[in-house]
Amino acid sequence: MTKVHPNIEATVAAVEQPSVKCSAKLETADAAVLTVWKKSLLFNCKGFTVFDAKGNLVFRVDTYMAGSGSNGEIILMDSGGKPIFTIRRKRLSLADSWLVYDRETVVNPLFSVRKHMNILNTKCLAHVSSRTTGNCSTNNNGKNIVYEIEGSYAQRSCAMYDENRRRVAEIKQKEAVGGVAFGVDVFRLIVEPKMETSVAMAIVILLDQMYGSSRRFST
């Protein structure tokens, strides 16, 4: 089997050592290129494993098949297992909407992500909204739209735009290695310095919930 990343042995060691620090912070002005693997490193789990360009583990999602995922809650963690965001499905909502909270708190969400339902604009996938003020467009609920995602998640070809229509992140298929293709479960997440890599990864998780396979974490 083709390796997702050559530093996979170091990654497994990092999973077993909670003291490992998250290396997702950008060190240069260039875009961060992450490799996203739709697979948990833990046995009998669903999730994501995310590496940086050097092969270091930066993000994890480990959701047990019969456990915390059953209540519609997903936790994005750093390399050592420390929660970054708690993601919960919004209750009593007609649309597919999710709330994203800071770490393990479940009050005062940082932002919300809503599946785009307008059939007249099929290229738009989702909107990311916040109640904070700023130079943002506003939807009918009085929330500020801070990011808009367009493209096709099924084909792993998406772009994330900020309120000024600047492309701040992209999801792309990962190139084949040695003639062996990775498929849709391994892809690249490219994040510009204008956007936090953790926020971009949270959006990826929710795109997978909205447009991924029927084998969701929350079922």
Q: Is 32 helix (H, G, I), strand (E, B) or coil?
A: strand
> Using CA atoms, how far apart are residues 164 and 119, in angstroms rounded to an integer?
23
Please report how many Cα atoms fall inside a 13 Å half-sphere around the Cα of residue 105, on the Cβ side.
7
What count of other Cβ atoms lies within 10 Å of the Cβ of residue 3?
12
Strands (E), the chain: 32-37, 45-51, 57-64, 73-78, 83-89, 97-102, 111-115, 124-130, 137-138, 144-152, 157-162, 167-173, 186-191
Residue in this structure with the two tokens 């995922």, named with its chain if needed: 69
> Using CA atoms, how far apart are residues 136 and 111, in angstroms rounded to an integer?
13
pLDDT of residue 190: 97
pLDDT of residue 121: 65
pLDDT of residue 123: 87
> Using CA atoms, how far apart are residues 196 and 214, in angstroms rounded to an integer?
28
Q: Is 197 helix (H, G, I), strand (E, B) or coil?
A: helix
Residue in this structure with the two tokens 């209540």, named with its chain if needed: 71
Q: What is the pLDDT along the chain (219 residues), one digit of tens a residue?
A: 456 654 554 444 444 433 333 344 433 458 999 999 999 988 888 899 999 999 999 999 998 654 444 457 899 999 999 999 999 998 876 678 999 999 998 899 999 999 988 776 678 999 999 865 444 444 444 468 899 999 999 999 999 999 999 999 999 998 877 767 788 999 999 999 999 999 999 999 999 999 986 445 543
List, in order of start, the domains of the chain with CATH numbers.
32-212 (2.40.160.200)
Decide: residue 167, CB within 10 A, 0-12 exposed, 13-18 middle, 19+ buried.
middle
**pTM, two decimal places:** 0.79
